Amino acid sequence: MRQLRYVLLAVLWMATLTVLHPGVALAHEQRTIAGKYDVEVGWDREPTYVNQPNAATIYVTRASNHEGIAGLEKTLQLKIAYGGNTPKAFALRPVFTKKGLYLADIIPTKAGSYIFNFVGTIEDTPVDEKFESGPGRFDDVMGVDQLEFPQAAPDGQTLASDLKAARDEANTARLLAMGGLVTGILGLIVGGVALVRRKG
């Protein structure tokens, strides 16, 4: 009974820490830049799933005293890349309840590895740092099929393909109907002409 009480207290303590420090997860990559700044990079919500609202995060503190650095939303920019595609720029916004923490809102639409590239300056120090998701760093994005129950929902690409097929079938049916109508009209015209000639 006493051991169960200790376990429950430990779980409660971890939950309390999570509430008091939102946006900071365990699966983040940490690095020191120019020997002056400690940074921690990752996803705001982990595990990270496809098509779920999320945010890329960076937490910046001075290495000397661990003080968070404010104002970096004006001097630092995030570029996110996926699968060798051209990176897309995202603006950072500060988390006012935690000095030095910044978010860039994003809805990841594909499972796999993402690269966060932070460029600009931290105070007077130029920054061009890349962080890639993966084991030992921060989470890759995962598909939601393993969470769906009782039946997996079709993904966006499947829905688009099904919609295109339905449109193609509708267009084909419309063309066939128009062709049948034209053929019927021509038949009536030919029949009418033949009837007039016979009476004449």
- Percent above pLDDT 70 for the chain: 73
pLDDT tier, 155 (very low <50, low <70, confident <90, very high otherwise)? low
Over residues 13-40, mean pLDDT: 69
Sign of CA dihedral 192, 193, 197, 200: positive
Tell me what pLDDT residue 180 has: 73
Of 9-18, 45-54, 80-89, 96-105, the range with the lowest mean pLDDT is 9-18
Task: State the DSSP H helix or E strand holding residue 120, giving kind and residue range, or none if neither.
Answer: strand 114-122
Evaluate if residue 33 carries a pLDDT over 90: yes
pLDDT greater than 90 at residue 150: no
pTM: 0.65
> Mean per-residue pLDDT for 67-94?
96
Q: Which of 34, 55, 30 is nearest to 127 (CA)?
A: 34
* Kind plus residue range of the DSSP H or E element containing 37: strand 37-43
Element (H, E) at 186: helix 156-199
With contact defined as beta carbons under 8 Å apart, do 24 and 59 qualify?
yes
Residue 175 confidence class, pLDDT cut points 50, 70, 90? confident
What is the per-residue pLDDT across 87-139, written as a single tens digit (0 to 9) for each? 999 999 999 999 999 999 999 999 999 999 999 999 999 999 999 999 999 99
How far is it, in rounded angstroms, from Cα 97 to Cα 19? Answer: 12
29/200 Cα distance (integer angstroms): 96
